[in-house]
A and B are shown apart, each in its own frame.
Chain A
Amino acid sequence: EAGVAQSPRYKIIEKRQSVAFWCNPISGHATLYWYQQILGQGPKLLIQFQNNGVVDDSQLPKDRFSAERLKGVDSTLKIQPAKLEDSAVYLCASSWAGGGTGYEQYFGPGTRLTVT
C-alpha cells in the first residue's frame, strides 16, 4: 500500500515569512498526526486529528502555527510568521485509529524546514 505522502521535502524561508506543509495519509486511516523533530531530538507531537476533528493540540504554538484536516483526509500545517527556532523536520503520521489503542503510526518522510 502507498505510504504517507508529504510535500515539499525541503523548504528554506526567511524569518517572518509564512510556510505551509501538506500531508496525505494512508487511505482509510482515521487518525493523523503532525510532529516537529528538531535536530538531535525525538519527534514532538504538535497536533492530532481524529477524522477532521482535533483531539490534541496542547503542544501546538497557536500564535503562529495552525493546522486543518478538511474532509478528514489530507492535512495542511501552516507557520506564520516563522521564527529561527522553527527550523526542524515536520513529520506527518497516520494510524487506523487513535494512538492509545495500540494501532501503529506510519510516518511520512518529513519536510525539512530551514528558517534563515
Chain B
Amino acid sequence: GESVGLHLPTLSVQEGDNSIINCAYSNSASDYFIWYKQESGKGPQFIIDIRSNMDKRQGQRVTVLLNKTVKHLSLQIAATQPGDSAVYFCAENTSGGTSYGKLTFGQGTILTVHP
C-alpha cells in the first residue's frame, strides 16, 4: 500500500523464497519503467527495465510485470538471497515527446531476507 515519509512498505522473506514487490505508478503517459535496488550508503543500482509495449520481461532471477490497465508494476525475485536485502524502487519515465525522458521514482519497499 501507499506510505508517507519514513514509513516505507516492508517485505520480510526467508532465504530461498520468492519475493514480489509491487508498485503503482501515476502517469499513464509513462513509456518506460525501471526497477532499482539501493543498499545502505550506496546509490541506486539498475536491476531490470521494461517498455510500455511489453507486459513481461525476465532477467536473471528477476521478472518484471507491467499492467498498464491499472498502472501497476511488480518485481519478482526468485530464490531470494540475503544479499537481496535492500530498498527497491520503481521508476517511471515520461518522454513527453522529447528525447530526454524524466525519471520519477516511487517511494520504495524495504526487502529483508532472513537466512
Contacts of B46 in A (CB 8 A): 104-106
Residues of A at the B interface (CB closer than 8 Å) are 4, 31, 39-45, 48, 50, 55-56, 91, 93, 97-102, 104-110
B45 and A45 within 8 A (CB): no
Q: Bin the interface of chain B by size.
A: 20 to 34
B93 at the interface (CB under 8 A from A): yes
B101 and A107 within 8 A (CB): no
Given A98-B99, A99-B101, A102-B51, residue A40 in contact with residue B32 (CB < 8 A): no
What is the distance, in angstroms, from B75's C-beta to the closest C-beta of chain A? Answer: 14
Residues of B at the A interface (CB closer than 8 Å) are 5-8, 31-32, 34, 41-46, 49, 51, 89, 91, 93-95, 98-108
A109 to B32, CA, bound (A): 24
Q: Which of A100, A102, A109 contacts B98 (CB 8 A)?
A: A100
Contacts of A102 in B (CB 8 A): 32, 49, 51, 93
B100 and A43 within 8 A (CB): no
What is the distance, in angstroms, from A36's C-beta to the closest C-beta of chain B? Answer: 11
B100 and A56 within 8 A (CB): yes
